[in-house]
Chains A and B, each alone.
Chain A
């Protein structure tokens, strides 16, 4: 324990416990935050980080334990109480009205009823003094994700908090935007404010945090100074064992291989005022390679996936070609019959029907593709066959579950994702398109899924991976293209790709040179 200038910590937590049903999300958590420090809260998905901070912010009530603020025992019964004490929070998912201006959004969160113009002036002054330029008159719908986060931070700062909680703030930022954020955080620390920084990105925790508390399965497994640790020692504390590294064998002669998925000048008008239009996207994915598409969330990746999968049809049939056949006007079933397979970003409600059993969810994407294996003539479902096939997938992907054939919603995110990916791999598709393959998935399952995708490509399939996780893309891709504002950059071969290059493209530094992709190398 360090940095205790006047004897008491700003915040002390003792034995904080939260129980949901049979799950103990937080189990006797102890935590100290000193004045003027950036304190990291590390842990995998499901380790209890969010539950803990929700209790600190008054969104959840603890079952047991005590919270001391400036040495005084306090009961934080609502976010209003937390704000009065001086605790501010910036959530991972923003709560902003897209149709209102930044200033109006800030005004909504302040109770004092002061006029919009004075709020806008205050916000503008504050934003410049902290190096977070923001135009309070701009419509939120027109702002980038990074700018929206600035609104959240500024509206938090306007309440002059002593402790600022940031939940995974960089997960939606480009590397350059993240750098800006770090400068702001250091500035806040120098003013004596404390920051609780939640993340699972080890490098940035090492870079900016003074101390770290590591959670695993709802328990504190260690306090440490992240600067004295290595990324892998921190990962070991988080995960509990060494994460197996993904093996990616180099491929030879990929340039001559057949393109199995061809996107030619794919454009799409925005469906709603806040969705992104696609602008002339070109891309080839050849047999045997993994192409990664990087990009900050909300730059057209969802729209692109829908267009490629056939959930939305194209005017121009030649804009999507699967195994050499024009597929733009085929439905998702037609594209599957050509050998393509798709894994969407959302698991529950898109890739799987939450209230249906795993075996029924197998049928969801495979009722038409496997000949008469699952659906007999006359439309009768062969339930024995789908049970057997889902069992096969469960074993192949090491899906852990509590019942023989549970509802999809009963599985943890990682296990359901393994099932959904396995459901498609089991068909040995010749084209595989995956959106955010390991979003919210724990490290062990993520490594398993990545390895499976690489192996699929090496067996002669074309694999397209859309992901926000740059580490993941660098791990599995043979080339990385970047999507920004509905445009796709030329793919950069992995040997030439650097975080900086990709990061600049993610920020829109070099858009609109997608024409080159049609060149044959």
Chain B
């Protein structure tokens, strides 16, 4: 009888910490090849269609930027939360609320046009996302609820609220009964960056700016220091005079605002109206992006582009090979699995322990409590 045990390494390798995302990506490719082979497709053909063809032309790069923008925006905000050891899993809901609140202007006041409309919409979107994120923050600080559960459950509330809005009060009366709002007027549409070359809009610029600003915040400013201290050793943070409750609100409001900005950018830029579904799971995929980017805003930009490609590739293999676009979800899941696996093995090594030799669980690594362990 053998048993696996994780033993903490005395120090982690700097080299492998840096290489880990690449190793994880390589492992994903290998596992993906096995999956394609099992589906009866030549893996090389599939990879060409999945990873190469979707980015071989300029307009396709624009599509990539459209998909990457919300992922990066959301993941940058989440990275602050996760660095602070605060687990906001509900970015999908904050994204949707940002889309809804930002859309109030073009949907409820379609006559209101001009240069002010767009900035106001973006601002409303950020406020909407932040306000929705404030709910789990309030519940956590006031009642000690687990923010993972509350923020996640609020996602479903947001999804159903959007569904009700576009089928009920906000439905386009001229829309032949389709569950959608009116098309936004021109001044409420996020402009494209280079209309001649492709569809990419200003959302991608927002994402890059947010990444740089948050990078400065985290690495150069006292607030970022506060985030890191409270996340890694809360008692030292209290000794420093940093308040944990204030930090919960800061992290949730910041990540909620960025998710809300992503939501309204997506609705106003890529879609142009509200529909029952406005996100293919960006808020959840962004969690993978945040970790693949090692919670570093600049790494997140690269990771966001990679994950955006898995979406495009999923659509491509569906149309070219007739494989379900759920393949994209499988790739994303494998990527997260391998990233977390690599990170674990950087911090721990695996040891095989023979059960037959030593009596009960008598391996006393907890030197102080061997007696207690054996008592069972």
Contact = CB atoms under 8 A, between A and B. Distances in A.
A506 B370 CA distance: 32
A497 interface: no
Interface stretch (B17-25, B51-59, B221-229, B256-264): B221-229
A111 interface: yes
A336 interface: yes
Interface in B347-376: 357-360, 362-365, 367-372, 374-375
B355 to A, nearest CB: 12
Contacts of A77: 357-358
A380 B363 CA distance: 49
Contacts of B223: 379
A354 B233 CA distance: 8
B370 A364 contact: no
B233 A59 contact: no
Given A80-B374, A380-B221, A350 B236 contact: yes
Interface in A65-108: 77-80, 91, 93-95, 97, 107-108
A203 B164 CA distance: 80
Interface in B1-53: 10
Interface residues of B, number: 33
B225 A350 contact: no
Interface stretch (B88-96, B238-246, B278-286): B238-246
Contacts of B235: 346, 349-350
B232 interface: yes
A123 interface: no
Contacts of A155: 371
Nearest to A343: B239
Nearest to B367: A59
Interface stretch (A25-33, A252-260, A272-280, A355-363): A355-363
Contacts of A78: 358-359, 362-364, 370
B142 interface: no
Contacts of B364: 58-59, 78-79
A381 B360 CA distance: 53
A127 interface: no
B220 interface: yes
B129 to A, nearest CB: 23
A220 to B, nearest CB: 22
B238 A311 contact: yes
Interface string B142-171: 000000000000000000000000000000
B357 A54 contact: no
A163 B237 CA distance: 45
Contact of B239 (A95, A97, A311, A354): A311
A79 B236 contact: no
A7 to B, nearest CB: 32
Contacts of B360: 80
A60 B366 CA distance: 10
B375 A110 contact: yes
Interface in B183-223: 220-223
Interface of B: 10, 220-223, 225, 228-229, 232-233, 235-241, 357-360, 362-365, 367-372, 374-375
What 8 pairs across the A-B complex have the smallest Cβ distances?
A333-B241, A109-B371, A79-B370, A78-B362, A108-B375, A95-B369, A59-B367, A353-B236
12 contacts: A59-B365, A59-B367, A78-B370, A79-B370, A80-B360, A93-B368, A94-B368, A95-B372, A109-B372, A356-B229, A380-B221, A381-B225
